[in-house]
Amino acid sequence: MTKPFPHERSQSRPSPAEPMEHNRLHARAGDEGFFRQVVAGMRNGVLAITRDGTIALINDEAYRVMGLEPRSTDIGRAVIDVLRDVPDVLRVLADVFEVTLLANRAELRIKSTGTVIGYTLAHVRSDDGLIVGASMFFKDLTSVEQIEERERLRDRLAAVGEMAATLAHEVKNPLAGIEVLAGLLRRRIPDVPETQTLLADIINEAKMANAIVQEVLDFVRPMRLQVEATSVATAIYAAASLADTHALRGQTGLHLELPEALPLINGDAHQLIQVFTNLLTNAYEALEGTGRITITARVVPRGPRVAGAREHDPRMALLVEVADSGPGIAPEIAERIFDPFFTTKVTGSGLGLAIVRKIVDAHNGRLDLRTAPGEGTVIAVALPVPHPLDEDGDDGTHSDRR
């Protein structure tokens, strides 16, 4: 629970040995309006509160990063009222007047928006050294965090990639031998029904194990995209047909809402078909033959929630959402759903959605998951649309990603 902000109390003075002179601001008197414009124009969020916990200063960038609507009436209001919807920031400010060593260049994730910020706290002192307020300077690090997370994932994959590929190759050979030998034995003793049944089981299990090994190989191999102008709608239609051969659809309804005027993207059609096939297969398995799946597509700005760009970025992204009416996913599972080898299925390899993530990353896209127990699941795939700003056709799509 967020601690209430302390009201006016005995204010601490700096110790005699504490140098204060170098912290003073030297400026002309009467320049308050000038400094207000300096703060307003900053590309970092700036928030300042008084000793009694009221807002003294807040700029538009602070509102944007915290996902709040700017209001001129917020100045002078209690910070716990203004920031009621961002309790993560309130927790940081709750004891700002109780400690001497304040956070510098710390990081925080705002859960309500998913934004990652880097922030620094400082005390605001009067001319005679009394602590009269506190300030918080912060910057949106969401795109930086995404890049670092991708690099960490690639580092982990590089560490185990060669070993996994070697093991997969070594396992494929005996599996193929088991399948061939079981087939030969099955043909030699056609008149023993019980043995025939056992051999059929052996062959099926060998095929299943071989399919899992192939998934491992596909996952650890470098991603080499055959980039060309690609219709995402065509890839989705192909995936809808292919997914029926991968999972039992039963009575599950599939509804596609794909406008005819969707722009082409620079991508690998085969890999994008695999993305949507895997997403549909997982949705079919989650619904167990009932319910409804809806796939929608639309063009959206490549803003902070899509590709980490600033809001004025004129480039666009194609957003595809695969929504199902299934049971939803618990939070502790949702956090790991795209991790390699993580699965809740008895026979799953845990690589289907990890491969989806790998392909989307290779296209410089973004994945998002919205789900809750009992409320279904929506997986969103945002893929960059080419724009003249992307010189030489460079829209961030790479032809060789690990």
Q: What is the pLDDT of residues 269-316, one digit of tens each?
A: 999 999 999 999 989 988 888 899 999 999 988 754 433 334 444 578
3 state DSSP class of 65: helix
Sole residue written with tokens 């989650």: 286
Decide if 307 contacts 146 (C-beta within 8 A).
Answer: no
Cα–Cα dist 144/117, whole Å: 10
Q: How many helices (H) and strands (E) does the chain have?
A: 10, 12
Q: Name the CATH superfamily housing domain 223-402.
A: Histidine kinase-like ATPase, C-terminal domain (3.30.565.10)
For helices 232-243 and 269-287, what crossing angle results, to 10°?
A: 40
Residue span(s) of the chain under CATH 1.10.287 come to 142-221
Decide if 306 contacts 319 (C-beta within 8 A).
Answer: yes
Residue span(s) of the chain under CATH 3.30.450.20 come to 28-140
| The pair of three-digit structure tokens given for residue 274, joined into one six-digit string | 């695999």
Cα–Cα dist 272/129, whole Å: 62
| Amino acid found at 157 | L
Bridge partners of 197, per DSSP, are none
The pTM of the full predicted model, rounded to 2 decimals, is 0.50
State residue 286's pLDDT score.
86
Decide if 290 contacts 251 (C-beta within 8 A).
Answer: yes
Is the CATH number 3.30.450.20 carried by domain 28-140? Answer: yes
State residue 231's pLDDT score.
94
Top-level CATH class of 142-221?
A: mainly alpha
State residue 15's pLDDT score.
46
Other Cβ atoms less than 10 A from the Cβ of 129: the count is 15
Q: Which positions of the chain have pLDDT values less than 50?
A: 2, 7-22, 304-313, 389, 391-396, 398-402
User: In this structure, what are the phi and psi dihedrals at residue 271, rounded to the nearest 5 degrees?
Assistant: -70, -35
Nearest alpha carbon to residue 323 among 268, 286, 348: 286
N-terminal to C-terminal alpha carbon distance within the chain: 43
State residue 83's pLDDT score.
93
State residue 10's pLDDT score.
44
| Amino acid found at 300 | V
Decide if 54 contacts 79 (C-beta within 8 A).
Answer: yes
State residue 116's pLDDT score.
85
Residue span(s) of the chain under CATH 3.30.565.10 come to 223-402
